[in-house]
A and B are shown apart, each in its own frame.
Chain A
Amino acid sequence: MSAAIQINDVTKRYGALTVLENIDLEIAPGEFVVFLGPSGCGKSTLLRMIAGLEAVDSGTISLGGDRIDTLPPGKRGVAMVFQSYALYPHMTVSQNMGFGLQNIGVAPRDIDRRVKAAAETLEIAHLLDRKPAKLSGGQRQRVAIGRAIVKEPQAFLFDEPLSNLDAALRGRTRLELAQLHQRLGATMIFVTHDQVEAMTLADRIVILNERRIEQMGAPMEIYQRPATKFVAQFVGTPAMSFLPVSGIEDGARGVTLDVAGAGRVETGVHLPATFARENASLGIRAEDAKVLTPGEDGVPLRVKVVERLGDRAFIYGTLSDGTDFVVEDAGRSTVAAGQEVRIGFDPDALHIFDSAGRAYHHTEGA
């Protein structure tokens, strides 16, 4: 039932505006892929091209080895869950779910059976005779998913399906979606700009930005080894801090950097000989820096704001050259705004970016 999806050299334009350019992407059968990216980067467009709701300007899309980009939406064997759910307002829940099967001439008894089965799984069996207007947001969402499930599609497409739910329901539905994926083993593509959703649901995250795929990979890989400065900055909250690098010296463990606000910083990163040394920058995540106990030698940070989340605290401040910097501290942190603290970094967790934004990381065993 699950099928591979190949996107080959796909380009999409709206008039003079190129939204996506030469996109290549292979999705394995049963894989859960999340498209993540800033608003307007073309996530929905790419999804809708797979669904057949937008035409492809060039390139091909295949599903299970068959080319589908020339087929009308209903013939592609994909199901889609819309952000607004798009339930048919005048049909009951069971009619909503059965409509697609009815259109392809499935026998009424089979429709009934499949609708009931899907409703059982989603725990909406008691709602089958209601109309969408009489459902809560969460229930509508389930019906929308149910409508996709009964079609037994080769791939499921989700366009920000959780964004209309409140925080608690969102968390619960996220878990249920993960379970659903495990049980059905179907290929799923999920569009979101919520990082938590992306990190928790995805087998693989595809980061889109400015017409192209910026990086794809497993969630932890994206987080720990962002391919570019854009990804490093886009993924993770609070965003990574970037410090300008003025000099680079090779060393045995890795390069040592001259950083304006932090003096000499030793890293565990090896740079290739071709690395362009001008305008490089150093990236540090908040959790990879720590506040040192008074008296220890470290980089001075003037604290401006302390954000306490309970289990941890984020300390926002500026380095001596005025660069903004965030560091994570324990929830019981006693640091207060206006203080000056000393901070230190984990050398193996540092990221170095060249002027074009390409990232270099510590490599194990190097």
Chain B
Amino acid sequence: MADRSAFSPESLTENRLLYWIAAGLAVVMLAPVIWIVGLSLKNNQELMLGTEAVFRAPYTLKNYADIFVNSQVFGWFLNSMIVAVGQTLGVLTLCSLAGYAFARLEFPFRRTIFILVLFGLAVPEQAVIIARHQMFNWFGLHNTHIALMLPGMSSAFGVFLMTQFFRAIPREIDEAAMLDNTSQFRIFWKVLLPLTMPAQATLGIFTFLLAWNDYWWPLISATKKEMFTLTIGIASSQTNFAQSEGLGFLSAQAIFASLPVVIVYIFFQRHIVTAVSGGAVK
């Protein structure tokens, strides 16, 4: 008991052994990724003879350069960008408007509609995807960017999140603005919306990731190769694996495709964690 440092509750819950086991297990998280990075830096012919070549030089960036030569991957990348950015902007617009109204305005059936929207949270994608596919077929919308963006905008999660956020802003702020002769839309636009920027960032990043990573819907909606998103495109070039493309090139594609989300993750980790845990833990 020579330790005279102040008592901290952490000392009761922290466990060195658990911590070091967790640190050791991190190898399992990292090893596959390092393996892929290694492969991506190797010449494909050399890898054909045996992948243990990863452990020795020479290394090359040729696989990455090939991505830009192989225009298809770059086109898929653009598709993914257009779809993810478009869907994100759409979600932010729709959810901010709806969240404001649900939190602040009175209109007939407000509660009923809100509860109905919340029920939407419980609808899994596979329960609607067949019918959606037919609907987009009716309007000949498949193989368009719009078709890839739209379904994600119906997600109830964003409305829920924005409503919570608008509710957290004190009502006196609106009231002060009303006494300042501010019109309804201007209160929304000039006074409240700027205050929801942290929520916009959270929802925006979260939506971007979902859209970027979406697999099911693009798989059935985008059937033309030039309309593929990166997820679908890379998956399609995997089918006849190793033989045609070469492990190194495949690995480089995978890394290239993940670059945007990894960058977003590195810079906005806090927002992403808030978004995924916000819904479940109050």
Contact = CB atoms under 8 A, between A and B. Distances in A.
Would A and B touch once assembled, by the CB under 8 A criterion? yes
Interface of A: 51-53, 72-75, 78-80, 82, 84, 86-90, 99-100, 103-104, 147, 151
Contacts of A104: 181
A86 B182 contact: no
Interface residues of B, number: 16
Nearest to A82: B172
A147 B175 CA distance: 13
A5 to B, nearest CB: 16
| In the complex, the 3 A-B pairs of residues with the closest C-beta atoms, listed nearest first | A74-B181, A100-B180, A86-B172
Majority secondary structure of chain B interface residues (helix, strand, loop or mixed): helix
Contacts of A74: 178-182
B32 interface: no
A51 B194 CA distance: 25
Contacts of A73: 175, 178-179
B254 interface: no
Nearest to B186: A103
Interface of B: 170, 172-173, 175-183, 186, 191, 194-195
22 contacts: A51-B179, A53-B175, A72-B178, A73-B175, A74-B179, A74-B180, A74-B182, A79-B179, A80-B175, A80-B176, A86-B172, A86-B173, A87-B176, A88-B173, A88-B191, A89-B173, A99-B182, A100-B182, A103-B182, A104-B181, A147-B180, A151-B180
A51 B191 CA distance: 19
B172 A103 contact: no
Contact of B170 (A51, A75, A84, A103): A84
A107 to B, nearest CB: 16
A46 to B, nearest CB: 15
A86 B175 contact: yes
A151 B181 CA distance: 10
- Which of B172, B175, B176, B194 has most A Cβ within 10 Å? B176
Contacts of A75: 181
Contacts of B172: 82, 84, 86
Given A53-B178, A74-B180, A90 B173 contact: no
Nearest to A153: B179
Contacts of B175: 51, 53, 73, 80, 82, 86
A78 to B, nearest CB: 7
Contact of A89 (B179, B183, B195): B195
A99 B173 contact: no
Nearest to A98: B180
